[in-house]
Amino acid sequence: MTLILASQSPRRRELLEQLGVTFHCCPADIDETPFQQENPNDYVLRLAIEKAQAVANTNPDTWVLGSDTSVVIDNIILGKPESKAHGVDMLLSLSNRKHEVLTGIALVHNDECHSRLVSAQVCFREISRSMAEAYWHTQEPCDKAGAYGIQGKGGMLVRSIEGSYSAVVGLPLAETAELLMDVEIEGWWSWPQE
């Protein structure tokens, strides 16, 4: 059975390719607005499931993998920045502090759904307004939750990480592989041994 990744993220595509899985991409079009009083954990997992279900509804003969990643500080979800000022403010709110990165994954086929929530703790170094503005001008943070990409130039802002690096990038490899194995989707682990 084939697999669809319900995302247009090049980072998620690259991570899934590391697992040796055959798949194609079909981005989901859903409303990502948090519900009033919605807990960040519930929000991230809900979006991962809704993304997978939206694509699965039009592709009933395949498994669909959905994922969502959010940066959370002081129980506030930091989505993608809406402007330079918003992005710089986000970066400054993370300066010299620890924050949580939540990634939800969901594997959906018809009425069957398998999901996981993965949390990592990321500690930023102290950054100045001028550094935050310079980073914004690289254009890397424009489409990233929390206004940074750990896998790129934004990696220099990170002092330490506790938990899954690949989850912070957007797709936790260990947990994704476990879900795929559970439903017998083949990856490099099932290739013939010589």
The active-site residue out of 68, 74, 89, 182 is: 68
74 is catalytic: no
Tell me the residue type at 21: V
Q: Cα 23 to chain center, whole Å?
A: 18
On whether the CB atoms of residues 30 and 51 are closer than 8 A, the answer is yes
3-state SS, residue 178: helix
- Per the CB < 8 A criterion, the answer to whether 122 and 96 are in contact is no
Per-residue b/e over 8-47, b at no fewer than 16 CB within 10 Å?
A: ebebbbebbeebebebeebebebeeebeeeeebeebbbbb
For the four alpha carbons of 28, 32, 117 and 135, in that order, the dihedral sign comes to positive
What residues are annotated to the active site?
68
